[in-house]
Chains A and B, each alone.
Chain A
């Protein structure tokens, strides 16, 4: 039995310092009130213990001022907890724009990780240090939960939609990945390791990694294999909307709604095409539910993202795209985008 057990988790991400600060604030206030109440109870029990059966204490009904005091003060302290916690939570839900894209598919009892430029890992995640990494996650069966204690980051992985979360590792090393939402027999074995590497090591890992094709080129292959191009062609007589430059662009639907084309829209249009029909087109696209798995959809999405730009550059380089008209505007309500923020294609990475 390891006797040198830690009492406090590693602190390996930018978010960890903020969460720990709030945690210690909560801890001190709670310790103060717990000790105060415990002390008062014990002190009164001893100080006013029953010495004789005849003594009848004075009748004290209460005091309004005291009641107000111990309502208002706890309320004030509680709201301070709320605002601090809320600020951290909102920033946890705002992935920076230049974050490294990683796609994670949870499947009963393993994590399948795919990097934008093709690396595939099982229960392993290699990320560079001091670089924001955005995770786009979905599940193939039941609800899982991607939890890295050292980064204080946790997000449920819900089947049927994308959930996004992000972190920025600040210390190299290997940290636990846990599945934190009960998902069946081997829920406790659905664990892994995230390895935070120095930039040099990360580059060598990238190079030495799988020589397979990038996500986008795998998507191109699938696109041809399922004969998507019979309808989705750039020329005029195409029966399906043109996909070039679609990602991040405003799309007008047949029912007058408008939304920004993001991963969730592309995923839903593949699996349930008639849910959102582009204005001017007929609902003739068949569903690919069951024909294309979650990884396939991720590859197709990566391929569609790479369309409408000069041929896909190196894995790292995100070629500049035309600034999407809406930029950072909040998408109109009603467009069911994924839980996390839909990443905007902004300035290229320098």
Chain B
């Protein structure tokens, strides 16, 4: 990727330095800064949905409570724990990469991918369960009792927000798999492991989105029951 420079430099430039940067330090600094700016765009991307959630929950409080009660709280809490676990393994992966321990890096990357897969598995089970109970919004939506319209709005937001989050999980697992392959080939060293780091930032962000989705969608009106 880095093309050799014509002029003989007093010290050989590190192989991973891209030509437009002066030093590896500047390159990694820019990459991390760039990822944080991307995370800001993600915050505002999810922000649109959180705004719709806030407005409609303010208008249809009762309906949202009735919808939230339909959720399987055990699955939700378990999923939150799974994702927090995957954040830990991701942080350990970055930690091992920084220490140059390749085997530990591979182990933790694999663990993170596995936990991510588990999360998606639980979501899949929940989704099929809701669909079976005719809770998928749209023409097929059926909900006994009052406030059917508000409950449908709750499920519209539930499926859109958790669906978008799941999509980000799938992309995250794709990134971690490529990292796994690159790490397997020994691409990362103690000096150059920036891709692992910025993928970690992305993964932790997706975990934080779930940390907010869980209480907002699963825990409303539990006491009402």
Q: Are B62 and A272 touching (Cβ within 8 A)?
A: no
| Cα–Cα, bound, A252→B62 (Å) | 17
| Cα–Cα, bound, A336→B59 (Å) | 9
Q: Are A255 and B62 touching (Cβ within 8 A)?
A: yes
Q: Which of A255, A274, A336 contacts B146 (CB 8 A)?
A: A274
- Taking CB atoms and an 8 Å cut-off, the chain A residues in 293-350 that contact chain B are 336
How many A-B residue pairs have C-beta atoms within 8 angstroms? Tell me. Answer: 9
Shortest distance from the beta carbon of B177 to any chain A beta carbon, whole Å? 46
By a CB distance below 8 angstroms, the chain A residues around B149 are 272
| Cα–Cα, bound, A272→B150 (Å) | 10
**Majority DSSP secondary structure for residues of A touching B:** loop
Q: Decide yes or no whether A283 CB sits under 8 A from chain B.
A: yes
Number of interface residues of B (CB under 8 A): 7
Shortest distance from the beta carbon of B224 to any chain A beta carbon, whole Å? 12
Closest to A334 in B: B58
- Chain A, interface size: which category? under 10
Q: Decide yes or no whether B126 CB sits under 8 A from chain A.
A: no
By a CB distance below 8 angstroms, the chain A residues around B150 are 275
Shortest distance from the beta carbon of A174 to any chain B beta carbon, whole Å? 42
By a CB distance below 8 angstroms, the chain A residues around B62 are 255
- Taking CB atoms and an 8 Å cut-off, the chain A residues in 143-165 that contact chain B are none
Q: Decide yes or no whether B16 CB sits under 8 A from chain A.
A: no
A245-289 interface code vs B (CB 8 A; 1 in, 0 out): 000000000010000000000000000101100000001000000
Shortest distance from the beta carbon of B152 to any chain A beta carbon, whole Å? 12
Shortest distance from the beta carbon of B153 to any chain A beta carbon, whole Å? 12
| Cα–Cα, bound, A272→B60 (Å) | 12
By a CB distance below 8 angstroms, the chain B residues around A274 are 146-147
Shortest distance from the beta carbon of A322 to any chain B beta carbon, whole Å? 32
By a CB distance below 8 angstroms, the chain A residues around B60 are 275
Closest to B59 in A: A336
By a CB distance below 8 angstroms, the chain B residues around A272 are 149
Closest to A289 in B: B149
By a CB distance below 8 angstroms, the chain B residues around A336 are 59
Shortest distance from the beta carbon of A159 to any chain B beta carbon, whole Å? 15
By a CB distance below 8 angstroms, the chain B residues around A283 are 146
- Taking CB atoms and an 8 Å cut-off, the chain B residues in 55-109 that contact chain A are 59-60, 62
By a CB distance below 8 angstroms, the chain A residues around B59 are 336
Shortest distance from the beta carbon of A335 to any chain B beta carbon, whole Å? 12
Shortest distance from the beta carbon of A264 to any chain B beta carbon, whole Å? 13
- Taking CB atoms and an 8 Å cut-off, the chain B residues in 106-150 that contact chain A are 146-147, 149-150
Shortest distance from the beta carbon of B53 to any chain A beta carbon, whole Å? 18
| Cα–Cα, bound, A275→B62 (Å) | 9
| Cα–Cα, bound, A255→B146 (Å) | 15
By a CB distance below 8 angstroms, the chain B residues around A255 are 62
| Cα–Cα, bound, A283→B149 (Å) | 14
Closest to B58 in A: A334
Shortest distance from the beta carbon of B216 to any chain A beta carbon, whole Å? 21
Most buried by A among B60, B146, B147: B146
By a CB distance below 8 angstroms, the chain B residues around A275 are 60, 147, 150
By a CB distance below 8 angstroms, the chain A residues around B147 are 274-275
| Cα–Cα, bound, A275→B59 (Å) | 9
Shortest distance from the beta carbon of A89 to any chain B beta carbon, whole Å? 24
Most buried by B among A255, A274, A283, A336: A274
Shortest distance from the beta carbon of B150 to any chain A beta carbon, whole Å? 8
Shortest distance from the beta carbon of A231 to any chain B beta carbon, whole Å? 16
Shortest distance from the beta carbon of A76 to any chain B beta carbon, whole Å? 35
| Cα–Cα, bound, A272→B59 (Å) | 13
Shortest distance from the beta carbon of A274 to any chain B beta carbon, whole Å? 3
| Cα–Cα, bound, A275→B146 (Å) | 9
| Cα–Cα, bound, A275→B60 (Å) | 8
Closest to A255 in B: B62
Closest to B147 in A: A274
B157-185 interface code vs A (CB 8 A; 1 in, 0 out): 00000000000000000000000000000
| Cα–Cα, bound, A274→B62 (Å) | 10
Shortest distance from the beta carbon of A271 to any chain B beta carbon, whole Å? 10
Shortest distance from the beta carbon of A299 to any chain B beta carbon, whole Å? 24
| Cα–Cα, bound, A255→B60 (Å) | 12
Shortest distance from the beta carbon of B72 to any chain A beta carbon, whole Å? 25
| Cα–Cα, bound, A255→B221 (Å) | 14
Shortest distance from the beta carbon of A200 to any chain B beta carbon, whole Å? 48
| Cα–Cα, bound, A255→B147 (Å) | 14
Closest to A274 in B: B146
By a CB distance below 8 angstroms, the chain A residues around B146 are 274, 283
Shortest distance from the beta carbon of A259 to any chain B beta carbon, whole Å? 14
Known: A255-B62, A274-B146, A336-B59. 6 other contacts (CB 8 A): A272-B149, A274-B147, A275-B60, A275-B147, A275-B150, A283-B146
9 contacts between A and B (CB under 8 A): A255-B62, A272-B149, A274-B146, A274-B147, A275-B60, A275-B147, A275-B150, A283-B146, A336-B59
Which 9 pairs between the two chains have the least Cβ-Cβ distance? Answer: A274-B146, A283-B146, A274-B147, A272-B149, A255-B62, A336-B59, A275-B147, A275-B150, A275-B60
